[in-house]
């Protein structure tokens, strides 16, 4: 009996180790700011994968307030530690909100995409849009960077993370920047549409 039990335990451990990882690498929009972490869309993503019997492990390494410069310095160590098969790169919002130089943001995002690809990861680049008060020229240039990088680096792209809720004031916390917990399933559905093709690739 003990040998049989030990066999099944070792089998389960082996299956756990075999699970490929999805790394979510973003800012407060992915870190679950203002809510219990289990309510955030990355945790909901893990639950959906499990419900569909897909052996993926979601690792959420998002940090509130993170800029592309901070992410660029942090990513190599995270890639080395986690060895993800897929990286969901969702940074840039804080660069835009702080009015940081766009060439620097482009350089940082491009470097992170290349770091992930060099580590053997498939990349889903998640874009963002800025509120209109940042000026039309800066806002247009900011948003265009994500598509330009995705095209140049041949990565998957989700143009605007908040697209499903952007016009719904009730979907945001009082700061008008961070989505509510109730809005997280909509964000998950939006991310899922772009992520699903990457899950099927060998």
51, 137, 169, 175: the active-site residue: 175
28 catalytic? Reply is yes
Work out the angle between the directed axes of helices 102-118 and 68-82 (0-180°, nearest 10).
10
Q: Which of 59, 57, 122 is nearest to 86 (CA)?
A: 122
Strands 20-26 and 86-90: parallel
Burial (0-12, 13-18, 19+ Cβ within 10 Å), 52: exposed
Is residue 90 within 8 A of residue 67, CB to CB? The reply is: no
**C-alpha atoms less than 13 angstroms from C-alpha of 50 in its C-beta half-sphere:** 9
| Separation of alpha carbons 84 and 200, rounded Å | 15
Q: Which of 30, 62, 95, 178 is catalytic?
A: 178
Catalytic residue among 28, 30, 62, 121: 28
Catalytic site residue 10?
Answer: no
Distance from C-alpha of 78 to C-alpha of 123, rounded to nearest angstrom: 15
Structure letter (DSSP) for residue 172:
B
Strand, coil or helix: 66: coil
The residues annotated with a catalytic role in the active site are 28, 175, 178
């Amino acid at each position: 009996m003990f040998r049989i039990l030990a066999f099944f335990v070792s089998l389960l451990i082996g299956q756990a180790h075999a699970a490929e990882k999805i790394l979510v690498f973003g800012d407060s929009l992915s870190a679950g700011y203002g809510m219990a972490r289990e309510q955030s869309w990355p945790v909901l993503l893990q639950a959906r994968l499990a419900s569909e019997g897909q052996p993926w492990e979601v690792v959420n390494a998002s940090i509130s307030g993170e800029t592309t410069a901070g992410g660029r310095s942090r990513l190599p160590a995270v890639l080395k530690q986690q060895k993800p098969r897929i990286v969901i790169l969702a940074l840039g919002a804080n660069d835009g909100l702080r009015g940081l130089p766009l060439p620097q943001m482009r350089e940082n995002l491009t470097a992170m995409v290349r770091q992930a690809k060099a580590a053997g990861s498939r990349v889903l680049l998640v874009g963002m849009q800025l509120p209109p008060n940042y000026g039309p020229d800066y806002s247009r240039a900011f948003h265009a960077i994500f598509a330009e990088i995705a095209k140049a680096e041949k990565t998957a792209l989700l143009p605007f993370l908040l697209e499903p809720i952007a016009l719904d004031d009730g979907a945001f916390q009082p700061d008008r920047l961070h989505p509510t917990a109730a809005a997280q399933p909509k964000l998950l559905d939006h991310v899922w549409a772009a992520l699903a093709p990457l899950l099927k690739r060998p």
